[in-house]
Homo-oligomer: A and B are copies of this chain.
Amino acid sequence: MNLLVESTRDIREFLRGDEETLVVTHHSPDGDAIGSLTAFGGMLDQLCVPNVIAVDDTPPMKYSFLPGFDRIVNLKAHPVGKMYPRVVVLDAGALERIGQAKSAIGPGTRILNIDHHFTGEAYGHINLVEVAAAATSEILYEICAAWGLEITPQIAYGLYVGILTDTGRFRFANTTARSVEICSKLIALGVDTSFVTERVYFNMSVDAVRALAKALTSLEFYFDSRVALIGLGGANHSSETEGFVEHACSIDGVVLAGFYSEMEPGLFKVSLRSRGRVDVNQIAAGFGGGGHKKAAGYRFRGDLADLKNSLMQAFKVGLDADLQGNSTSETAGILPWGRSTMVEN
């Protein structure tokens, strides 16, 4: 990814002066949201721009080790209360996604939007949307490099967490050579990748492990074992089920997977994963939910039998359509190889 010099120049111009600046990200923040937030706060500090970094609700405690995390304002506990002259929105494809932070935006507020999601919604006065970047944190690294900022621990750990989590530990197809190269540079500066990975990925609660045991015990297969379903019905619901669906989607031969948990009697949350060509975003949308092509979710009212029947009907439509399409390397087992992304030095 090569950032346009004009973009970084426009952003530098936008941030000129010492007006207090609010930096926000999307609600239900993930690692890239929190990491880019703390990193950008550190970048503004270095530019001597007074800043407040904030999210719509309590930030996830697993990122509490990040330098700058303590500075994040929880807007549910501490509402905004005033308009800001400048608002920076990170990692949010639509302005709706910043939640109550919107009340900080008045008629005179200028907005800077830095993101890597393509939504076509250019809601900022300046928009730097780089869809080739694996993470918003990756874009912030390029900005630091363009401006010659010092990569402090606060900036480095934030950016590392952002790239690590948005690439799923370099697992997802968005991972480029540049994403990994930036991580190598952040490690060279002092980021402890072992420490970060342990804190972010290897700190399950006891309840979560017990819930996982129950969910895995419920494992069912459909359609010649191309579909796997696990879940927590009845009183087994747990709020800590992040990543459970991955276990169903990690089984040899499985191309579609689902996980359900019964939040209250007759109300389920459902997570879907695809690792073939079936678009689970489309399937979830059919139930009033959404997400991405490979990861999506929805809520379902009814009983468990209805949930399974309706989901399997939708999966069947997807699988049938897929079989009629052309075979690609994804199913034909051809080794992918290509010099598509060059490392820049």
Q: Which residues of A contact B (CB under 8 A)?
A: 65, 67, 153, 156-157, 169-173, 175-181, 183-185, 187-195, 197-198, 201-206, 209-210, 212-214, 216-217, 219, 221, 225, 246-247, 249-252, 275, 333, 335-343, 345
Contact = CB atoms under 8 A, between A and B. Distances in A.
B216 A251 contact: no
B190 A338 contact: yes
Contacts of A214: 217
A221 B183 CA distance: 36
A184 B177 contact: yes
A184 B187 contact: no
A341 B172 contact: no
A294 to B, nearest CB: 10
A151 to B, nearest CB: 10
Contact of A275 (B185, B198, B205): B198
Contacts of A336: 190, 192, 195
Contact of A204 (B250, B275, B340): B250
B176 A209 contact: no
B213 A219 contact: yes
Contacts of A340: 190
20 contacts: A65-B333, A169-B169, A171-B197, A175-B187, A177-B185, A180-B180, A180-B184, A180-B193, A181-B188, A184-B184, A188-B341, A190-B336, A190-B340, A192-B337, A198-B275, A202-B275, A204-B251, A205-B251, A212-B247, A213-B217
Contacts of A193: 170-171, 175, 180
A162 to B, nearest CB: 15
Nearest to A247: B209
A170 B171 contact: no
Contacts of A206: 219, 221, 225, 251-252
Contacts of A192: 336-337
A231 B215 CA distance: 18
A246 B157 CA distance: 25
Nearest to A252: B203
Given A180-B180, A188-B341, 12 more contacts: A171-B198, A172-B194, A175-B194, A180-B193, A181-B181, A181-B185, A189-B339, A190-B338, A192-B336, A202-B275, A212-B216, A212-B247
